[in-house]
Amino acid sequence: MKMRTVSVLGATGSIGDSALDVIARHPDRFRVAALTAHRQWQKLAELCIRHRPEVAALTDPAAARELERALSGKRLPTRVLAGDEGQAEAASLAATDTVVAAIVGAAGLRSTLAAALAGKRILLANKEALVIGGAVFMAAAAKGGATLLPIDSEHNAIFQCLPARYAGDPTASGIRRILLTASGGPFRKRPIAELPSVSVDEACAHPNWVMGRKISVDSATMMNKGLEMIEAHWLFGVPRESIEIVIHPESVIHSLVEYVDGSVLAQLGHPDMRTPIAQALAFPERIDAGVPALELVRRGALTFEAPDHERFPSLDLAHRALGAGGTAPAVLNAANEVAVAAFLDRRIRFTDIAPTCAESLERVAARAATTLEDALAADAEARSVARSWLKLAA
Ligand code: NAD
Ligand code: MG
């Protein structure tokens, strides 16, 4: 296999950690070209010393100056960049062929889009980019000649269960349904009456996965599965009617594809993000991910149940937003980001998150989303509506 050069956007996060762990296991296959983050300059400095990238970028300019000082005299080949432009440059470097898009939230849209336009092989974790600007993003990837390899575990599982060279037409490939599995998060069995008083720490304590705080809260509300339904729609060209959500508390089956002949293909594994990341990094080859073998007998039973729509209103909101189309998913995502951040700051209750999203979908009219500007305008309007509904300062 030829040596691949990799830019990791969001290198200091949970996905960044897992990606750099897999990369470091295969120095003969991968070289790090760029590492980026928001403002954690100390951690990025350590990563630069370990991986010696050509470029390191922090969005926050003051943190970028600190990084520059921390790296001076270390004899590294690393140029330090700042701002959104720095992120976009790291995503489209001529020296890079593979981009791990692992920034959390709408903040990752521009750099992920830059990688698409530059024709990179994109390992997509930043699902929010697809939720906000699905049409724009898919068009940019086609125009730039980019290859999209999903590393969200469910989408990576689906990708592995689709026919080789799947061209985005489920009917032509004999696909009846996509079954997206969900753990149900930490509150699957919590009495609904207690949900208004759950704490941030409880919401972030996922039963099976260790992840960043935003996606952990999204898993607790199940908005994560709603966003993933929209993500699956764009990645695989499946209509929402053909996507079913199944609660599978053990998180061993990562998703399934059902064919018209009755065959159902699934991908299984330990809940460890290094598996989907390694699959996509090496595709179409296979490499060691550092993940232990799945001992089925020791795991015992795998169980399934239907999602509880009263407990998890976010699922219906996402279904509705995808049905409305245009800018509606961008509005949903923006309102959710505002509400989740406010919950993490302990300014609102857990059960205020879904109503904020519902209210924003009501108040912001859905429009066509054919350009990046359409999507960004809807994002900005929804953030302001969500903030005023929650009575948060702008
Ligand atoms: P995290 O909070 O652990 O890390 C987020 C990263 O994004 C950090 O490196 C941070 O510095 C960077 N970042 C945030 N704002 C930025 C900005 N304005 N500019 C540049 N960088 C910025 O999050 P995570 O759990 O690693 O999730 C990252 C993405 O991957 C999310 O979209 C999430 O939905 C998706 N994802 C994560 C997991 C998981 O297991 N953690 C699984 C599937 C999908
Ligand atoms: Mg997922």
Per-residue pLDDT tens digits of the chain, which is 394 residues long: 789 999 999 999 999 999 999 999 999 999 999 999 999 999 999 999 999 999 999 999 999 999 999 999 999 999 999 999 999 999 999 999 999 999 999 999 999 999 999 999 999 999 999 999 999 999 999 999 999 999 999 999 999 999 998 989 999 999 999 999 999 999 999 999 999 999 999 999 988 888 999 999 999 999 999 999 999 999 999 999 999 999 999 999 999 999 999 999 999 999 999 999 999 999 999 999 999 999 999 999 999 999 999 999 999 999 999 999 999 999 999 999 999 999 999 999 999 999 999 999 999 999 999 999 999 999 999 999 999 999 997 6
Closest CA to 103 of 24, 39, 154, 185: 39
Looking at residue 187, its amino acid is F
Of 227, 94, 40, residue with least CA distance to 152? 227
pLDDT at 57: 98
Task: Give me 165's structure tokens.
Answer: 């060279």
On the CB side of 44, CA atoms within 13 Å amount to 33
Q: How many angstroms does the Cα of residue 124 sit away from the middle of ligand 2?
A: 11
- Cis omega (within 30 of 0) for bond into 284: yes
Q: Is the CB of 267 under 6 A from ligand 1?
A: no
Q: Is 134 in the pocket of ligand 1 (CB under 6 A)?
A: no
What sign has the CA pseudo-torsion 73, 78, 79, 80? negative
C-alpha–C-alpha distance, residues 230 and 318, integer Å: 7
Give the amino acid at 106: A
Alpha-carbon gap, residue 236 to 2, rounded angstroms: 28
Q: What are the strands, taking DSSP E only, across 260-312?
A: 264-268
**Contact indicator for 31, 4 with CB cutoff of 8 Å:** yes
Which ligand 1 atom minimizes the distance to the CA of 213?
A: 2
Ligand 1 pocket mutation pick from 14, 60, 213 by most atoms within 8 angstroms of CB: 14
Q: Are 182 and 248 in contact (CB under 8 A)?
A: yes
Of residues 212, 209, 205, the one with CA closest to residue 190: 205
What pLDDT shows up at residue 393?
78
Helices (H), the chain: 14-24, 41-51, 61-71, 83-92, 109-117, 127-144, 153-161, 200-204, 213-221, 223-236, 274-282, 296-299, 314-324, 328-344, 353-363, 372-389
Give the ligand whose atoms come closest to the C-alpha of residue 225: 2
The ligand whose atoms approach the alpha carbon of 131 most closely is 1
* Å from CA of 204 to ligand 1 middle: 14
Count CB atoms within 10 A of the CB of residue 99.
Answer: 28
For the Cβ of 216 lying below 6 angstroms from any atom of ligand 1, the answer is no
Which ligand is closest in space to the CA of residue 82? 1
CA of 391 to the centre of ligand 2 (A): 31
**Contact yes or no for 237/168 (Cβ under 8 A):** yes
Residue 246's Cβ-side half-sphere holds a number of Cα atoms within 13 Å equal to 22
Q: What is the pTM of this model?
A: 0.98
Looking at ligand 1, which atom is closest to the CA of residue 15?
26
Ligand 2 centroid from CA 67, angstroms: 32
pLDDT computed for residue 341 by the predictor: 98
Nearest-atom index, ligand 1, CA of 105: 32
CB 126 less than 6 A from any atom of ligand 1: yes
Ligand 1 binding pocket includes 208 (Cβ within 6 Å): no
Q: How far is the CA of 86 from the centre of ligand 2 (A)?
A: 28
The residue whose C-alpha atom lies closest to atom 20 belonging to ligand 1 is 38
Those residues with Cβ within 8 angstroms of residue 160's Cβ, 6 or more apart along the chain or in another chain = 267, 279
10 in contact with ligand 1, CB cutoff 6 A: yes
Ligand 1 atom 43 nearest Cα: 152
pLDDT at 209: 84
CB 361 within 8 A of CB 335: yes
Q: How far, in Å, is the centroid of ligand 1 from the Cα of 57? A: 15
CA of 234 to the centre of ligand 2 (A): 15
94 CB-near residues (< 8 Å, 6+ apart): none
**Please, which residues bridge with residue 32 across strands?**
6
Is 148 near ligand 1, meaning CB less than 6 Å away?
A: no
Q: Say if residues 195 and 351 touch (Cβ distance below 8 Å).
A: yes
